[in-house]
Amino acid sequence: MAEAPLSAIRSLPSWLLGRAAARGRALVAEALAAEGMKMWHHVVLSAVRDLAPVAQADLGRSVGLDPKDLVGVLNDLQNAGHVVRAPDPRDRRKNAVSLTDEGARLLERCETAARAANDDLLAPLSAAERDQFTDLLIRISGTDG
């Protein structure tokens, strides 16, 4: 009997990680969509909360988003009342971005939805396996968490 197509490739950790990542992204994207949000909007909202008030350029660098793409995301978030842009108190020539109260409430709902999606992703694992898996991912990703 012939081996299944691509079995050598499909057994590679890089292939399996890619498949798991794609499934995880899809689950989170679906959960965020239920809140009317997209992935980049969630990332930017979270960064604004952590860094605010933050200059747009610094915000873009912190999340790795191209400046013109960041402007579009910020326009969406500002038009929906989730962030405000105002002169940066440290340099009035720049805009600083801050979260509104509505933006903070939305971010809480999105974080809850994203955690639930990640719980769905990791449902086949025990609590100890989840912790070990996360620790291993941190080690191989080259990040410190």
List the chain domain ranges. Answer: 30-134
Q: Is 133 helix (H, G, I), strand (E, B) or coil?
A: helix
Cα dihedral sign for 122, 34, 78, 65?
positive
- From residue 35, alpha-carbon distances to 49, 110, 113, 115 in Å are 18, 7, 8, 14
Q: Tell me how far CA of residue 113 lies from CA of 21, 33, 73, 135, in angstroms.
A: 17, 10, 20, 22
Residue 144: per-residue pLDDT: 66
CATH number of this structure's domain 30-134, picked from the four choices 1.10.3720.10, 3.40.50.300, 1.10.10.10, 3.40.50.880:
1.10.10.10
The whole-number pLDDT of residue 93 equals: 82
pLDDT for the residue 7:
87
Please, how many CA atoms are within 13 Å of residue 76, restricted to the half-sphere of its CB?
A: 14
Per-residue pLDDT of the chain (145 residues; tens, 9 = 90+): 566 678 889 889 999 999 999 999 999 999 999 999 999 999 999 999 999 899 998 999 999 999 999 999 999 999 999 999 998 877 888 889 999 999 999 999 999 999 999 999 999 999 999 999 999 999 998 876 5
* DSSP 8-state code for residue 4: P
In this prediction, residue 89 carries a pLDDT of 77
Provide the 3-class DSSP secondary structure of residue 60.
Answer: helix
C-alpha distance across the termini of the chain, in Å: 45
Note the pLDDT of residue 8. Answer: 87
